[in-house]
């Protein structure tokens, strides 16, 4: 449940400027957990290009994206990435919350929102990976019904290095894949 005063919207072209402002405000907050970003990433033009590319991924059924808004500012984001259908019916979830809005249950609410939409999309499973020392993110996932299922050495190139991750998953339902049912 999204707390009062906040609103979740499906990512759209007109979020680009507010996204650029949010990424710029949160440079130091996000840097340890993100890939190294080129300077253009923090500009409205860079974010406009990023949103166009992302919406193409969404149109192809490979992802989904939402932004968290408060008073016209973007203060968080959640993405479903790497959606695979067939016998897998799986997607990966990624998220962040603005440095001035952490500790209010917002990330847990965003992950819950993405899980509900993923269930509606017919996915069977969500996955998430956190850096081994990202205890806040691990708490978010455990609050959201995820279970740790493994450790992956040198899993993602984050903050300039291949880094070990803890892997989590949440099973959404036990039904068969929709596209395999007559
Ligand atoms: C991780 C992040 C998304 C959490 O957002 P948030 O809105 O504060 O999350 P929530 O309020 O829903 O829950 C945070 C939980 O982490 C706990 N927490 C916070 N800091 C912690 C720490 N250093 N060690 C252990 N737990 C911690 C909080 O106590 C809370 O758990 P609780 O409800 O049991 O008290 C946010 O800090 C962030 O955007 N970080 C940078 C980007 C990032 O790490 N993204 C995830 C990549 S996998």
Residue 182 pLDDT grade (very low, low, confident, very high; cuts 50, 70, 90)? very low
- What does the alpha-carbon distance between residue 53 and residue 64 come to, in Å, rounded to a whole number? 12
Domain 7-180 part of CATH 3.30.70.100: no
pLDDT in tens, 65-92: 999 999 999 999 999 999 999 999 999 9
φ, ψ of residue 43 in degrees (nearest 5): -110, 155
Q: Which helix (H) or strand (E) holds 64?
A: strand 64-70
Nearest to 80 by CA among 99, 98, 102, 60: 60
Closest CA relative to residue 153, chosen from 131, 170, 168, 137: 131
Pocket test for ligand 1, best of 107, 159, 167 (most atoms within 8 A of CB): 107
Euclidean distance between CA atoms 162 and 13, whole angstroms: 32
Q: What is the mean pLDDT of residues 106-115?
A: 98
Q: Give me Rg for the CA atoms of the chain.
A: 16
* Residues 21-26, mean pLDDT to the nearest whole number: 98
Q: Going by CA atoms, what residue is nearest to atom 12 of ligand 1?
A: 105
- pTM for this model (two decimals): 0.96
pLDDT band at 178 (very low <50, low <70, confident <90, very high): confident
CA 102 to chain centre: 15
In angstroms, the CA 120 to CA 158 distance is 31
For residues 137-146, average pLDDT: 98
Mutate-to-test residue for ligand 1 from 129, 139, 159, highest number of ligand atoms within 8 A of CB: 139
The sign one gets for the Cα dihedral 85, 87, 89, 94 is: negative
> Considering only CA atoms, which residue is closest to atom 34 of ligand 1?
139
- CA of residue 26 to ligand 1 center, whole Å: 15
168 touches 129 (CB < 8 A): yes
Query: pLDDT (tens digit, 9 = 90+) per residue, 145-162?
Result: 999 999 999 999 999 999
Sign, CA dihedral 147-78-94-76, equals negative
Token pair, residue 23, equals 């990424």
Give the per-residue pLDDT at 179. 58
Q: Which residue has the tokens 């253009």?
A: 40
Answer whether residue 102 shows pLDDT above 90: yes
């Amino acid at each position: 449940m999204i707390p009062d005063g906040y609103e979740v919207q499906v990512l759209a072209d007109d979020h680009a400027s507010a996204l650029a402002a949010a990424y710029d405000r949160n440079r130091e907050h996000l840097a340890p957990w993100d890939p190294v970003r080129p300077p253009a990433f923090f500009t409205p033009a860079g974010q406009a290009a990023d949103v166009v590319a992302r919406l193409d991924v969404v149109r192809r059924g490979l992802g989904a994206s939402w932004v968290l808004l408060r008073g016209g500012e973007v203060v968080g984001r959640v993405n479903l990435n790497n959606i695979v259908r067939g016998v897998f019916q799986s997607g990966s979830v990624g998220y962040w919350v603005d440095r001035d809005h952490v500790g209010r249950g917002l990330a847990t609410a965003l992950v819950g929102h993405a899980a509900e939409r993923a269930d509606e999309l017919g996915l069977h499973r969500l996955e998430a990976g956190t850096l081994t020392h990202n205890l806040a993110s691990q708490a978010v996932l455990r609050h959201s019904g995820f279970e740790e299922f493994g450790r992956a050495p040198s899993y993602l190139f984050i903050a300039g290095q291949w880094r070990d991750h803890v892997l989590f998953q949440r099973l959404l339902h036990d039904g068969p894949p929709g596209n395999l049912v007559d």
